[in-house]
Amino acid sequence: MLSAAIFPCFRLEQNHFPVLQYRMSKSQNVPVVLIFSGLDPSGGAGIQADVETLASHGCHAAPVITALTAQDTSRVFEIVPVSANLLIEQARAVLEDMPVTTVKIGLLGSVATVEVIHSILRDYPNIPVVLDPVLASGGDDPMSNQDIVDAMRSLLFPISTVLTPNSPEARKLAPQADNLQACAMELLDNGCEFVLITGTHEPGEEVINTLYGNHRKLEEFHWPRLPDHYHGSGCTLASSIAGLLAHGNEPMIAIHEAQQYTWESLKNAYRVGMGQAIPNRLFWARTQ
């Protein structure tokens, strides 16, 4: 478990899953996480999901907007990438002012965005990078094309500490592979240090997330399947991993604890729109 002095502590309820209670030492420096992500006006995914998650982890979120979107809790209607120059100005302003400890990447929106992020991050090779490869919405609306996928594979995978595709994304990112483990091996060959393939789209009473690294399967994580569908679950998981890495945790610990946080967020989700439920990333603040 993580030290309560530097990170939100966990206590177990009767169901043996952790409930997050925020507590942070006043003397502890607040780690800065740089986020590259899109703006979701529904507030379920994208930048808002990242900021809420990182705030829950005692981090300072520095959001760089990659794209504006028109979407709700069911569908994505339009994606407008931010210009390359503005993207560079946003990121450089943060990196030259703040001690960024971790980078989280979400929606990209264009090949130019991939190229800009790569050109910026190659100047900071020691900062861990968590990449959530957003290829489609929860309603299966496409949010990337093959050119973006190819650019991501060649430019961002080699600098990624943790890649967090769901199973359909893994199959699209490694189309020549004939099973999910082969997908993971191909993604590792592209340069990722760790690949966590989430299994919510696979059949079964449990959700099985599988972690790969060092050209082998490292661990399976089994979670009770929840009954709903959730808008922004992938953002929540990737941002949670980034927040935990920002506190100096090893990737294996961060990946494990982030799944616990995400599961609780989904378990406590709420519905404000007519589509998918919104993860409650501030579940730890609820009245007991």
The amino acid present at 121, given as its one-letter code, is: L
The amino acid that residue 239 corresponds to is S
Tell which wins on pLDDT, 107 or 22: 107
Range with top average pLDDT, 18-27, 28-37, 86-95: 86-95
Tell me if 248 sits within 8 A of 258, measured CB to CB: no
Question: Where exactly are the structural domains of the chain?
Answer: 29-285
pLDDT digits over 205-260, tens only?
Answer: 999 999 999 999 999 999 999 999 999 999 999 999 999 999 999 999 999 999 99
Q: Tell me, what's the pLDDT at 13?
A: 42
Q: What is the pLDDT averaged over residues 130-147?
A: 79
Residue 164 has pLDDT above 90, yes or no: yes
What's CA 65's distance to the chain center, in Å? Answer: 15
d(CA 171, CA 269): 28
Q: What one-letter code names the amino acid at 272?
A: V
What number does CATH give the domain 29-285? 3.40.1190.20
Question: Where residue 55 falls among pLDDT bands split at 50, 70, 90?
Answer: very high
pTM over 0.75? The answer is: yes
Which helix (H) or strand (E) segment is 18 a member of? strand 18-21
Asked whether residue 15 carries a pLDDT value surpassing 80, the answer given is no
β-partners of residue 81 are 67
